[in-house]
Amino acid sequence: MKRKIYSTEVIIKAAELAELPVSAVMSLMIKLEEAFNIITPSRLNHPISNIEDLLQEVCFLSHVSPEDVKTKTRKREVSYARHVFVKIAQEAFPKIKPKDISYLIDKEYQVINWYIKEVDKVPEKRRAYEIIRGYLNL
């Protein structure tokens, strides 16, 4: 997998958001990319064709199990994975109704729009969304 080339503006913006020096952010981006190159190339080189596959991939990248996403736990990593999955599912499969997405993760369908708003509103969830979205072939 080829190394992605990030623009200077992206690196500077990431440094501002993380409140770190630009060199530290660049180093972290390289390490993160190398880690993903070791772990994920074989998984992420195939297109995601249905919502169940999307759930599997989001859970894999978030280091949680799909069963955890379906529980009522409020642990941060599980909650982030659940919210990010819903937002990406809504974008990637616009014809699927929120009720169908909620059925897949065993949640009330009324919370689906709230999950999407939370990803847009909370910076940490937004960052998690952007990282996971960047590695999916959608």
**67-96, pLDDT tens digit by residue?**
999 999 999 999 999 999 999 999 999 999
Indicate whether 26 pLDDT > 80.
no
Fold exhibited by the domain 42-135:
Chromosomal Replication Initiator Protein Dnaa; Chain: A; (1.10.1750)
Arithmetic mean of pLDDT, 16-42: 66
CA distance 69 to 126: 18
Residue of 102, 118, 46 lying closest to 128 (CA atoms): 118
Residue of 47, 89, 48, 82 lying closest to 65 (CA atoms): 82
With contact defined as beta carbons under 8 Å apart, do 83 and 115 qualify? yes
Please list the residue range(s) of the chain that carry CATH number 1.10.1750.10. 42-135
CA distance 30 to 98: 36
pLDDT at 4: 53
